[in-house]
């Protein structure tokens, strides 16, 4: 909606460009909040994220780093409470991470309840960045953010299992994520494996 109201001179070409837009508003907002800490902590991950244009393109290393950052932060922030309360996974997802960074959640979430020490935001972020610094920074978003089109008969016992590999199509790299105009979705239980993509979009003037 914000993209639509930002201009009035829409053409067919500009509408097509809009439908393919992979700029992540979430990434812009999160990295704006984190920038003072990223500048202070430094390191390969911090430097790459600060230089990134926030576009979730298939050939972007930083797009993958950012997506991993959000998973790692969610686990670091809420994983301790989840373990304490018997939950199967952290209650903190990307939206909650952004809310916490913006002051919408109590800062006590940063503290690791498993330790006697009270950990502040920068300490938790430093731990997460250290883990990300150890990863392969040459890997691209499209190498892990992929979709497979499963043949409708692949579920058939025996034959489906045997022939599914030849019947199915993919994997294909997919740009964007769940907050870009060119939207795609994946589950936290299977990070980055695309479950849903847009089939058709159009803008109707009524």
| pLDDT, mean of residues 126-149 | 92
Q: Can you give the pLDDT at residue 47?
A: 97
pLDDT at 120 over 80: yes
User: Which is nearest to 43 in space by CA: 119, 134, 124?
Assistant: 134
**Quick check: 174 and 59 in contact, CB under 8 A?**
no
What pLDDT is stored for residue 4 in this prediction? 73
Q: So what's the pLDDT on residue 15?
A: 76
Residue 191 has pLDDT above 80, yes or no: yes
Question: Which letter, b or e, does each residue of 23-56 get, where b requires 16 or more Cβ atoms within 10 Å of its Cβ?
Answer: bbebbeebbebbeebbeebeeebbebbeebebbb
What would the two tokens of residue 41 be? 């902590």
Predicted pLDDT at 204:
64
- What are the residue ranges of CATH 1.10.1400 in the chain? 2-140
Mean pLDDT for the chain overall: 89
The answer to whether 176 and 22 are in contact (CB under 8 A) is yes
- Per-residue pLDDT averaged across 148-176, rounded? 79
Domain 2-140, second-level architecture: Orthogonal Bundle (1.10)
- pLDDT given at position 131: 95
Place of tokens 């301790």: 80
* 169-173 vs 146-149, strand pairing mode: antiparallel
Tokens 């109707």 belong to 204
Average pLDDT, integer, range 96-116: 94
CA 7 centroid distance within chain? 28
Of 15, 18, 4, residue with least CA distance to 182: 18
* SS3 assignment, position 29: helix
pLDDT at residue 205 tops 70 = no
Question: What average pLDDT does range 106-111 have in this prediction?
Answer: 94
């Amino acid at each position: 909606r914000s993209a639509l109201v930002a201009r009035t001179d829409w053409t067919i070409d500009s509408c097509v460009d809009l439908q393919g837009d992979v700029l992540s508003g979430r990434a812009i907002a999160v990295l704006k909040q984190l920038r003072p800490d990223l500048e202070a902590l430094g390191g390969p991950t911090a430097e790459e994220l600060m230089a990134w244009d926030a576009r979730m393109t298939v050939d972007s290393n930083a797009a993958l780093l950012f997506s991993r950052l959000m998973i790692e932060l969610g686990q670091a922030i809420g994983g301790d409470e989840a373990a304490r309360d018997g939950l199967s996974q952290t209650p903190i997802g990307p939206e909650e991470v952004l809310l916490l960074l913006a002051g919408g959640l109590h800062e006590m979430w940063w503290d690791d309840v498993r330790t006697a020490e009270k950990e502040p935001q920068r300490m938790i972020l430093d731990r997460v960045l250290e883990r990300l610094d150890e990863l392969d920074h040459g890997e691209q978003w499209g190498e892990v953010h992929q979709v497979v089109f499963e043949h409708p008969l692949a579920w058939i016992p025996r034959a489906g299992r045997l022939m599914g590999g030849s019947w199915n199509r993919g994997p294909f790299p997919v740009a964007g994520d769940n907050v870009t105009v060119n939207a795609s979705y994946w589950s936290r239980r299977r990070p980055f494996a695309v479950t849903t993509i847009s089939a058709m979009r159009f803008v109707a003037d009524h």
